[in-house]
Amino acid sequence: MRRARRNAGDPTLEFGRVPYDDYVHASTLHGLQRTLSDDAGEMSFLVISQVMELYFGLIHFEFTQLQQRLRADDVWGALAPARRAALHLEGLTAGWRTLSWMTPADFNRFRNLLGEGSGFQSAMYRHLEFRLGLKSAPLIRPFRRQPEVHAALTATLEEPSVWDDVLALLARHGHDLPAEVLDRDRTTEHEPHPAVEATWVRVYRDAGPANLLRQLGELLTEIAEKFGDWRYHHLRAVARTMGAKVGTGGSTGLSWLRRSMDRPVFPELFSARTLMD
């Protein structure tokens, strides 16, 4: 207040170092765009890729917060990071819209300069998939020559996923879930189980405002849907810019993405709805 009075309502213009830059590191961020060609469109591709990386990290952060609350039996506290994660996924998906101008000719002007570089090699995206329960041990192999990155991915692979922690929470709240669900190998994907499906049917029978487990289920459903939106828009962007060409990272491109979309997130939250009254 004293500063505002001293400045007569105008912003402060004299600093030793600009506080905003000290906090946001904007000058560092804006120095990270190093294109490989003179094509103007490459800047869009690079910046959106970097923005998506930041969103991957932010959503991964929210998932770790969510899991901490779940492990502490704080269902109410888990709702806030789950809600934030769902909103961040909307922002992540919006990035594809800003690349919708890109035709095959636009992309091909700099695509070869990427070499074998591919979004498939994003370590933070892999963390995100593992947190969502889409586990696959071979997918950390590209990072074996980056010991710190590889170790972090191995830890996330071996830890319970969000879904594992949700199921453990349901069991602690009196729902009967079998050992093959609760004590399974965490490095593999969860296989849909009828006992989990039946548990969500029971949870949803109480539609009252005090049923926090139902609220949690709805937010997890939203996360699964919005993650599916991101995967779908990724597929569309690839189809638009390169059709069925082989991906720069060596995958089959479009068909690989289609197979990835067939791996469900939180599957029993959706299958249980067939059995709900």
Kindly report, residue by residue over 131-157, the tens digit of the pLDDT.
999 999 999 999 999 999 999 999 999
Residue 11 predicted with pLDDT over 80:
no
Q: Is 111 annotated as a binding residue?
A: yes
DSSP state of 266: S
How many angstroms separate the Cα of 4 from the Cα of each of 1, 8, 13, 23, 170?
5, 6, 12, 21, 52
Q: How confident is the model at residue 116 (pLDDT cuts 50, 70, 90)?
A: confident
Q: Which of 10 and 197 is assigned the larger pLDDT?
A: 197
Q: What share of the chain is helix, strand, coil (3-state, %, to 5)?
A: 65, 0, 35
Q: Do the annotations mark residue 17 as ligand-binding? A: no
* Residue 127 annotated in ligand binding: no
How many beta carbons lie within 10 A of that of residue 6, not counting itself? 9
CA distances from 55 to 130, 156, 238 (A): 16, 18, 20
**CA quadruple 92, 97, 98, 101: dihedral positive or negative?**
positive
Question: What separation in angstroms does the CA of 253 have from each of 19, 93, 116, 140, 247?
Answer: 44, 19, 13, 19, 5
Q: Classify 39-274 by CATH class.
A: mainly alpha
Percent of the chain with pLDDT over 70: 94
